[in-house]
C-alpha cells in the first residue's frame, strides 16, 4: 500500500506542449492504460479549454467530452484535468457524475489570484476535487503566499500545489515555501509539488519534498514519463516512482512504467525533444519563460552568456512572460556595433578585383568532394574564403567569421599569425589582427536581420563587386544528425538544426532580390538544399 505520498502523472498534459497536444488516440489510450496498471495515483489526461478540440488531442470542453478516455477499470487511479483560468469558461463545465475525470486543477497567474476564487468555488460546487495551482510560486513574497493561502482556506480544496514554473528552485527555496504553506494551510489539505528541470534539480527536489512533508501533510508529486515537458522537462515519473518503491516501500509497478517508456516515450522523442540544456539552465537561473530561450536560441551563433545578458537586461517581470519584439530589440542592441569600414572594403575590393571567389562553407560535401574543389582551384585560381572554420582541403586566403561562438572555438585551437581573418563587428577578437567589417551593413535587410554567415559573406562579395562566386560545402541541414559539418566539433543538436534550411532559403531569396551586382553564383559540390534557388537566381 502507498503511504502519505502520491504520484500525479501529467505526461498527457505537460508533455502535450511539445506536440501541439496531438498525442493521437492510440497513444492517449495506451498511456492511460499503462499508468493505471502501474498504479499511478492520479493521471492527468489533458486540458480544459473553450476551443482547440480535435480527435487525438488532449483538449476537452468538459467531463462528458473527456469521458471516452476514462477506462472502465480504473484500479486505484483517479483522473485530473488542468484548467487555465484565463483560457477556460467555467460555465462549460458539467456536474460531476463519476463517469469522467475526478478532479480539476485550476492554474492562474499571480495577478489573477483574487478573481480566480469564484472559479475555484464553482469547480467544487459541481462536485469535482479541486487542486489550486498558482503559477510561479517563487514570484510571490512571503506575505503574498500567506494571503493567498488564507483565501484558499475559505474554499478548502483537495490540494494546494507549489509550482516551480521556471525551474529556478533550490532546496532551501522549497523548504521556505513549504514551511509557509504548511503552517498556514488548513488541516487536511494536501500539498502538491510541480517542478521543472532547468537546474537539474527536479528529481532531487521531489525526493526532498516527500521527506519534508512526511508526518505533516499528504503530498502529491507531479511527474511525467521520461520527464517529458516543455523546455528542460519535469520530474521523471519512473525516477520518483523508483525512489518511492526502493526507499519508501511503495508498490508502484515499475515494469509497467518501463513498458510505457519503451512503447510510447521513445517514439515521442522522434517527434520532439526536451531535457536539460545550457540554454534552459540560463532560463532557470533567471526565472525566465522557456519561450524566451526558444526565441533566442534560434539566433545563429548566440552564446549562453549572451542570453544571460539579454534576460538580465529585459528585467524580472518581462522575462516571466515572452515579448518577442522586446527580445529582438535587446538582441539587436546587444550585437549592434556599427563601425566605419570604408578602408577595409576598398582593400578587399582591390584584392578581389577581376578574380573569382571560392567560398568554402563547413558542410560535409567540401571534404567529400575535395577533388572537385581542388580542380576548381587549379582551373579558376580564385580567392579562397572559408566560413567559420579552417578548411583542411586547401589553404584559405581568408577565414570569415560572423559567428562569435565559432570564432571563440577556432581561436582556442589556432593562431592568426599566418592567417588572414575577416570578422564582423559583433565578434569579439581581442588579441587577433583582423579585418573588421560592419555587422549592421552586412546583416540588415529590408524586413529582417540575417545571421547566417554564408549569407553575410555573399552580401560582402556583392558590396566589393566580386565577378564570380563559387560555393563549396553550402549543403544545408540534412535529416541525419551528426553529419551536417565537415568539422565534427561544429555539430549542433537536431533541435537547433530543425527549420534552419527554411530560414536560410528565405534569406537567400532576399539576397538575390536585393543584391546590386550581377556576379554569377554557382554551387560546385554536393546536393545543396539551396541548389534550386541558386541555379535559378545565381545566373541572372
How many C-beta atoms surround the C-beta of residue 330 within 10 A? 19
pLDDT of 1: 46
pLDDT of 336: 64
pLDDT of 11: 98
pLDDT of 481: 47
Give CA–CA dist 313/308, Å, rounded: 8
pLDDT average per 10 residues of sequence, the chain (540 residues): 85 95 96 98 98 94 97 96 96 97 97 97 98 96 97 98 94 97 97 96 97 96 96 95 96 97 92 86 83 78 78 83 82 72 92 92 89 92 92 87 86 69 87 86 66 90 93 80 52 57 86 86 88 84
Angle at alpha carbon of residue 165, lines to 159 and 171, rounded to 5°: 80
DSSP state of 465: T
Q: At what angle do helices 142-155 and 171-184 cross, to 10 degrees?
A: 40
Residue whose entry in the numeric block shows the C-alpha cell 527549420: 499
Give CA–CA dist 464/460, Å, rounded: 6
DSSP state of 262: I
How many C-beta atoms surround the C-beta of residue 348 within 10 A? 23
The residues that bridge with 159 in the sheet, in sequence order, are 131, 190
Contacts of 329 (CB under 8 A, 6+ apart): none
- DSSP assignment of 71-134 equals -S--TT-EEEEEEEGGG--GGGPPPP-SSS-SEEEEEE-GGGTTTTHHHHHHHHHTT-EEEEEE
Angle at alpha carbon of residue 509, lines to 507 and 512, rounded to 5°: 110
The gap from C-alpha 96 to its chain's centroid, in whole angstroms, comes to 37
- The three cell numbers locating residue 212: 519534508
What is the domain partition of the chain in residue ranges?
5-269, 278-335, 342-537
Give CA–CA dist 36/178, Å, rounded: 29
Nearest Cα residue to 270 out of 27, 19, 44: 19
- The three cell numbers locating residue 276: 536539460
Contacts of 249 (CB under 8 A, 6+ apart): 3
Q: 5-269 maps to which CATH number?
A: 3.20.20.70
In the chain the first and final C-alpha atoms are separated, in Å, by 76
Give SS3 for 48: strand
Q: What is the dihedral of CA 15, 17, 21, 24, to 10 degrees?
A: -40
Give CA–CA dist 381/199, Å, rounded: 53
How many C-beta atoms surround the C-beta of residue 295 within 10 A? 18
pLDDT of 501: 81
| Cβ proximity of 426 and 439 under 8 Å | yes
| Cβ proximity of 460 and 450 under 8 Å | no
Amino acid at each position: 500500500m502507498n503511504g502519505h505520498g502520491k504520484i500525479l502523472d501529467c505526461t498527457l498534459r505537460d508533455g502535450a506542449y511539445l506536440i501541439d497536444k496531438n498525442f493521437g488516440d492510440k497513444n492517449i489510450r495506451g498511456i492511460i492504460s499503462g499508468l493505471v496498471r502501474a498504479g499511478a495515483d492520479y493521471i492527468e489526461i489533458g486540458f480544459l479549454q473553450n476551443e482547440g478540440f480535435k480527435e487525438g488531442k488532449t483538449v476537452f470542453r468538459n467531463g462528458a467530452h473527456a469521458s471516452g478516455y476514462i477506462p472502465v477499470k480504473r484500479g486505484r487511479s483517479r483522473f485530473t484535468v488542468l484548467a487555465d483560468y484565463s483560457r477556460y469558461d467555467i460555465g462549460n463545465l458539467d456536474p460531476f457524475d463519476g463517469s469522467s475525470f475526478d478532479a480539476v486543477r485550476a492554474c492562474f497567474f499571480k495577478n489573477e489570484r483574487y478573481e480566480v476564487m469564484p472559479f475555484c468555488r464553482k469547480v467544487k460546487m459541481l462536485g469535482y476535487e479541486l487542486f489550486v495551482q498558482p503559477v510561479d510560486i517563487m514570484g510571490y513574497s512571503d506575505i503574498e503566499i500567506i494571503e493567498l493561502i488564507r483565501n484558499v482556506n475559505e474554499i478548502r480544496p483537495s490540494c494546494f500545489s507549489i509550482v516551480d514554473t521556471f525551474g529556478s528552485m533550490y532546496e532551501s527555496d522549497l523548504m521556505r515555501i513549504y514551511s509557509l504553506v504548511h503552517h498556514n494551510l488548513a488541516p487536511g489539505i494536501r500539498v502538491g509539488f510541480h517542478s521543472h528541470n532547468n537546474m537539474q534539480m527536479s528529481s532531487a527536489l521531489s525526493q526532498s519534498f516527500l521527506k519534508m512533508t512526511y508526518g505533516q501533510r499528504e503530498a502529491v508529486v507531479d511527474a511525467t514519463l521520461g520527464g517529458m515537458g516543455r523546455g528542460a522537462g519535469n520530474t521523471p515519473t519512473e525516477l520518483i516512482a523508483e525512489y518511492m518503491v526502493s526507499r519508501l516501500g511503495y508498490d508502484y509497478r515499475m515494469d509497467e512504467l518501463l513498458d510505457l517508456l519503451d512503447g510510447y516515450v521513445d517514439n515521442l522523442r522522434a517527434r520532439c525533444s526536451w531535457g536539460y540544456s545550457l540554454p534552459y539552465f540560463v532560463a532557470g537561473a533567471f526565472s525566465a519563460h522557456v519561450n524566451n530561450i526558444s526565441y533566442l536560441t534560434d539566433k545563429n551563433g548566440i552564446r549562453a552568456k549572451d542570453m544571460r545578458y539579454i534576460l538580465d537586461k529585459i528585467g524580472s517581470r518581462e522575462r516571466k512572460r515572452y515579448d518577442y519584439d522586446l527580445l529582438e530589440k535587446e538582441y539587436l542592441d546587444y550585437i549592434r556595433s556599427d563601425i566605419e569600414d570604408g578602408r577595409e572594403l576598398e582593400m578587399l575590393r582591390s584584392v578581389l578585383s577581376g578574380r573569382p571567389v571560392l567560398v568554402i562553407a563547413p558542410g560535409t560535401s567540401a571534404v567529400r568532394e575535395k577533388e572537385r574543389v581542388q580542380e576548381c582551384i587549379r582551373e579558376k585560381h580564385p580567392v579562397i574564403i572559408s566560413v567559420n572554420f579552417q578548411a583542411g582541403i586547401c589553404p584559405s586566403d581568408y577565414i570569415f567569421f560572423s559567428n562569435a561562438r565559432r570564432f571563440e572555438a577556432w581561436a582556442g585551437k589556432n593562431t592568426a599569425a599566418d592567417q588572414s581573418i575577416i570578422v564582423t563587428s559583433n565578434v569579439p577578437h581581442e588579441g587577433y589582427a583582423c579585418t573588421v567589417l560592419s555587422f549592421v551593413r552586412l546583416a540588415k535587410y529590408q524586413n529582417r536581420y540575417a545571421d547566417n554567415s554564408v549569407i553575410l559573406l555573399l552580401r560582402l562579395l556583392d558590396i566589393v563587386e566580386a565577378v564570380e562566386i563559387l560555393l563549396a560545402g553550402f549543403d544545408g541541414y540534412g535529416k541525419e544528425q551528426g553529419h551536417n559539418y565537415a568539422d565534427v566539433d561544429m555539430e549542433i543538436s537536431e533541435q537547433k538544426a530543425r527549420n534552419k534550411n527554411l530560414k536560410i532559403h528565405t534569406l537567400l531569396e532576399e539576397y538575390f532580390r536585393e543584391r546590386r551586382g550581377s556576379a554569377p553564383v554557382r554551387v560546385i559540390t554536393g546536393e545543396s538544399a539551396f541548389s534550386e534557388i541558386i541555379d535559378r537566381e545565381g545566373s541572372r
